[in-house]
Amino acid sequence: MIIFGSEILKDKGFTIIEVLIAMIIFSIALLALVSLATTSMKATEMGRRMTQGVNLATQKMESLKAVPFKHLNRDMTVGGISKTCTSVGAVFSCTPTPNTDTLDNAVFTWSWDVEYMDLNGNGVVFGDSPGSIDDGDMRLITVFVDWSDIMGDHSVELKMLRSTL
């Protein structure tokens, strides 16, 4: 309060305590916004990588569609796809050569499985020789794509059924 003559004038303004409390509240709100922005950027990057992984899996699945039914995992090189396959029963697991693709400095690793399915129940799953095909069977093809980014390890798999027709 200032006394000026016979009138009392009041100071108009904030005290130092009020200013400090306002700055603390503002700082807490600003830190929350920075944290939200960082999380948002990480999620955007993860979504972009997920899209790249799905697109790569789709592209590889389309390449496998071009391989004739009778050659799926019977020959080591068919349709420009070099691969190493192992067999456990009616499931062939294949790793192509090369099995990595680099997109925007991220390394994506891919492979596929082919599972022969005896739909007509005749006991013949994929024939006794590379040329023999059981017309009642189908093949379940699964393409796997794996990668790592700032949010950890991720994978995607696509499945497709193929028949002789």
* Number of compact structural domains in the chain: 1
User: Is 132 part of a structural domain of the chain?
Assistant: yes
Mean pLDDT of the chain: 79
User: Is 67 part of a structural domain of the chain?
Assistant: yes
Q: Tell me the pTM.
A: 0.69
What domain range is 137 assigned to?
14-163
User: Is 88 part of a structural domain of the chain?
Assistant: yes
Q: What is the pLDDT of residue 128?
A: 47
Q: What is the pLDDT of residue 157?
A: 93
Q: What is the pLDDT of residue 131?
A: 46
- Please name the residue ranges forming H helices in the chain: 16-65
CB neighbour list of residue 64: distance below 8 Å, 6 or more residues apart: 72, 81, 112, 141, 143, 160
User: Is 42 part of a structural domain of the chain?
Assistant: yes
Q: What is the mean pLDDT of residues 77-96?
A: 71
User: Is 71 part of a structural domain of the chain?
Assistant: yes
User: Is 8 part of a structural domain of the chain?
Assistant: no
User: Is 4 part of a structural domain of the chain?
Assistant: no
User: Is 3 part of a structural domain of the chain?
Assistant: no
Residue 140 burial class via C-beta count within 10 angstroms: exposed 0-12, middle 13-18, buried 19 and up: middle
Judged against a pLDDT cut of 60, whether residue 105 lies above it is answered with yes
Judged against a pLDDT cut of 80, whether residue 83 lies above it is answered with no
Judged against a pLDDT cut of 70, whether residue 132 lies above it is answered with no
Q: What is the pLDDT of residue 95?
A: 79
Tokens linked to 19: 């200013």
Of residues 54 and 77, the one with the higher pLDDT is 54
